[in-house]
Structure 1
Amino acid sequence: MTVLRGNHEDMLLNVISAPEPGDRALDLWLWNGGELSLLPFARAHRAWFEALPYYAIRGPYLLVHAGVRPGVPLEDQRERDLIWIREPFLSQDHGLPYTVVHGHSITNDFEIERRNRRIGIDTGAFLSGKLTALRLEFETAS
Structure 2
Amino acid sequence: MSSPIYAIGDIHGQLAFLEQALAWIEADGGPDAEIVFLGDLVDRGAESRAVIERLIAGQAAGRRWTVVKGNHDRMFSRFLSDGTLHDDQVKSGIGWLHPRLGGAATLASYGVTEAETRPFAEVLEQARQAVPATHRNFLETLPVYEERAELLFVHAGIRPGVALAEQAEDDLVWIRAGFLDDTRPHPWLVVHGHTALDVPCHHGNRVNLDGGAGYGRPIYPAVFEGREVWLLDEGGRMSLG
TM-score (norm 1): 0.82
What residue identity is the alignment partner of 1:125?
A
What residue identity is the alignment partner of 1:57?
E
Q: How many residues of Structure 1 are paired with residues of Structure 2 in the alignment?
A: 134
Name the structure 2 match of 1:11: 75
Q: CA deviation at 1:94?
A: 5.8
Name the structure 1 match of 2:17: none
Which of the pair has more CA radius of gyration? 2
Alpha-carbon separation, structure 2, partners of 1:6 and 1:134: 18
1:60–1:98 Cα contact (<8 Å) kept: yes
Indicate yes or no: 2:108 matched with 1:47: no
Inter-CA distance 28–42: structure 2 relative to 1 (3 Å threshold): farther
Q: CA deviation at 1:127?
A: 2.4
Alpha-carbon separation, structure 1, partners of 2:137 and 2:223: 27
TM-score (norm 2): 0.51
Alpha-carbon separation, structure 2, partners of 1:70 and 1:46: 31
Q: CA deviation at 1:41?
A: 2.9
1:103-122 alignment runs, 5 A limit = 103-107=193-197, 110-122=198-210
Name the structure 2 match of 1:66: 156
For residue 91 of structure 1, give the secondary structure of its aligned residue in structure 2.
coil
For residue 162 of structure 2, give the secondary structure of its aligned residue in structure 1.
coil
Q: CA deviation at 1:55?
A: 0.2
Structure that is richer in strand per residue:
2
1:116-131 alignment runs, 5 A limit = 116-131=204-219
Alpha-carbon separation, structure 1, partners of 2:145 and 2:216: 26
RMSD (Å), alpha carbons: 2.2
After the TM superposition, list the runs of 4 or more consecutive aligned residues in structure 1 that deviate by more than 4 angstroms.
Answer: none
For residue 180 of structure 2, give the secondary structure of its aligned residue in structure 1.
coil
Structure with the greater relative contact order (CA < 8 A, sep ≥ 6): 1 or 2?
2
**What percentage of residue pairs aligned between the two structures are identical?**
36
- In structure 1, list runs of 5 or more residues that go unmatched: none
For residue 70 of structure 1, give the secondary structure of its aligned residue in structure 2.
coil
- In structure 2, list runs of 5 or more residues that go unmatched: 1-34, 37-66, 88-93, 111-126, 228-241
Q: CA deviation at 1:88?
A: 1.0
